[in-house]
Chain A
């Protein structure tokens, strides 16, 4: 599903990631590692947010550098600490992202309802709690028709009902062919989720654990 070759990410002289070769198979993948190991940097690279050296290929044909539009249609992302302009409303973002991701009218209505964002989607983002912000970020990540969704620390700041909702959504979409990479320092099995593979981000590289 996802092939990585000679991925190098540095900030100045500091190497964050140096992954020679990595292949992530379809399914639900758990990416874990300690704080500061480079998990979020990896997820930002794969979602096309930050530049990098090396090669990233999705389904052998799509790349964030050469097929920019097609790749970004296929890959969605939810940040661990979402950061949006505080004067915008959830409605503004859902409309903007939904239009870009070619989400259906039905999805633009139902997905905010699923994540409970519809209750406050006309309020400015600056008034949201961290949990509300997280729900919005997750809602945006499920818009469109992606083949890969990256969720960075998806269960942080969510309440029990939201965690259950998210788990169901992930499992349902996975059965429909959508792949997930869940970036979390927590063990997702404790939350009742089963990952097809687990990778560990350590010493600037990523290795298969199980």
Chain B
């Protein structure tokens, strides 16, 4: 039993958390960085006081469950996990116990938040909410366990990959490789990141209706928004230096390399650039427009450059992120124009790519 749990844990649970470290990092950034503990308690108290409001939370939990399931399906059928076909030979009790424990482990973030709400509900005496939360936990964990049981217990099938026919059967240029990877494998992370970034951009723009602000507020907003690309950039580093490591044997000039990198990043940030242009709150001058867009682009390229300076887990990178925000905010307050900031950060990114592209070695932890 211990061996079965160990294998399922390593193959599925730990792999899920490792591959979604960027996603959880982004969630933590929002929950810890922008919401105070008193606000968390206030939100939690509102939810437990209004059982119908809990259904909004259950909707988010169902979306999370779907995300886990979408991860499990291709992972179970990966070539390196072919040995999991032996699972159906195990005894019924081992099969059921192992999937329940694995499901519980996969749903830990949800369970922790639920536990927090239950404690609040106990303190305030909302016992219907406690019952509702417990039933939701049991239903979602059991559903996950049932799904996992069915998947592991089923006979092996031939895997097929459908090709996203972007341009019929024509060859994809290399700067589209990572874009396709994101659309295929990290769509939830991509959408969540864009939702966060666009929300900050729109929120900052709306603040201009309340008072007279200059470009500095928008620049600060763009800074806080575009660091939301940290998770995607973390994935890009993994993709470029692990999945595409063979490309380090290719005779690509620095110009060709940097063109590929920066084209990919430029394509990835199109959604937020469109939102930025759409909600631009000031009288648009060419210098300000170009400056703010260059600044947003350079923040994203800087994130990539810093990540190949030294391999760090996403959680550890938050310290570097903190200092980027502090130093840049300081410069913004002293009215350094975004075109200057953007140019400097972009140049730093180029230097880091030049120095570190071949010196960086991605190592699996």
Residues of A near any B CB (own CB < 8 A): 11, 47-51, 64-65, 68-73, 75-77, 79, 82-89, 91-92, 95-97, 100-102, 122, 124, 126-127, 140
Contacts and interface: CB of A to CB of B under 8 A. Distances in A.
19 contacts: A47-B249, A49-B246, A49-B248, A50-B361, A51-B360, A51-B361, A65-B358, A69-B251, A75-B249, A84-B244, A85-B239, A86-B161, A87-B161, A87-B180, A92-B171, A96-B174, A100-B250, A124-B161, A124-B163
A88 B177 contact: yes
B159 A79 contact: no
Q: Size band of the B side of the interface?
A: 20 to 34
B160 interface: yes
Contacts of B253: 69
The 5 closest A-B pairs by CB, nearest first: A100-B250, A72-B251, A73-B251, A124-B161, A126-B161
B37 interface: no
Interface in B317-362: 358-361
Contact of A85 (B169, B177, B250, B251): B177
A178 to B, nearest CB: 16
Nearest to B245: A49
Interface in B156-193: 159-161, 163-164, 169, 171-172, 174, 177, 180-181, 184
A83 B241 CA distance: 11
Given A69-B251, A89-B163, A101-B251, A79 B171 contact: no
B181 A79 contact: no
Contacts of A75: 249
Contacts of B251: 68-73, 100-102
A88 B244 CA distance: 11
A125 B302 CA distance: 32
* Residue among B174, B242, B252 with the highest chain A CB neighbour number at 10 A: B174
Given A87-B181, A92-B172, A79 B246 contact: yes
B249 A83 contact: no
Given A50-B361, A95-B171, A85 B246 contact: no
B285 interface: no
Contacts of B172: 88, 92
B169 A122 contact: yes
Contacts of A84: 243-244, 246
A76 B247 CA distance: 11
B86 interface: no
Nearest to A129: B79
B358 A51 contact: yes
B363 interface: yes
Nearest to A68: B358
* Residue among A49, A71, A82 with the highest chain B CB neighbour number at 10 A: A49
A122 B171 CA distance: 9
B52 to A, nearest CB: 43
A171 B242 CA distance: 32
Given A92-B171, A95-B171, A124-B161, A85 B252 contact: no
A26 B239 CA distance: 35
Interface in B173-223: 174, 177, 180-181, 184
Contacts of A49: 245-246, 248-249
Contacts of A71: 251
A48 B248 contact: yes
A126 B159 contact: yes
A85 B241 CA distance: 12
Contacts of A83: 242-243, 245-246
A77 B161 contact: no
A210 B239 CA distance: 41
